[in-house]
Amino acid sequence: MTPDMITKARANAKVKGFADEEVHFRLGEIEYLPVADSSADCVIRAPEKETLMASILAAGFVDVKIEEKEESREVIKQWLPGSGAEDYVVSADITAKKP
């Protein structure tokens, strides 16, 4: 997410009638979410990567790069040892430019 996406999400929530106290949008890294423990109802992820990429490109972003975080698979492996979760879940930095 980018600051522009957060701004757009807030505007869309307002159009849909959600009060600022009901829905919050914050920019941060998934490993270090900017929320207090036990204060968030959900964290949204993007399971459909092709749709996500199409949305990013349609929004005018270029030079999109996805870089897997080196230690993420080892951390994820510890969530459920022996499950193979690390083969399906990864933490990555996604960067892009908006000309």
Per-residue pLDDT tens digits for 45-62 = 677 778 878 888 888 889
- Give pLDDT, residue 43: 53
Cα distances (Å, whole numbers) of residue 52 to 21, 31, 77, 89: 27, 20, 25, 16
Torsion, CA 87, CA 57, CA 54, CA 12, rounded to 10: 110
Q: Which residue has the higher pLDDT, 33 or 73?
A: 73
Query: Which of these, 49, 47, 42, lies nearest to 25 by C-alpha position?
Result: 42
Q: Which residue has the higher pLDDT, 86 or 32?
A: 86
| Phi and psi based region of residue 81 (left: phi greater than 0; alpha: psi -120 to 50; beta: remaining) | beta
Query: Which of these, 8, 10, 98, lies nearest to 60 by C-alpha position?
Result: 98
Q: Which residue has the higher pLDDT, 44 or 90?
A: 90
3-state DSSP assignment of residue 82: coil
CA distance 58 to 61: 7
- Give pLDDT, residue 41: 56
- Give pLDDT, residue 23: 80
Q: Kindly state the tokens that stand for 16.
A: 């849909």
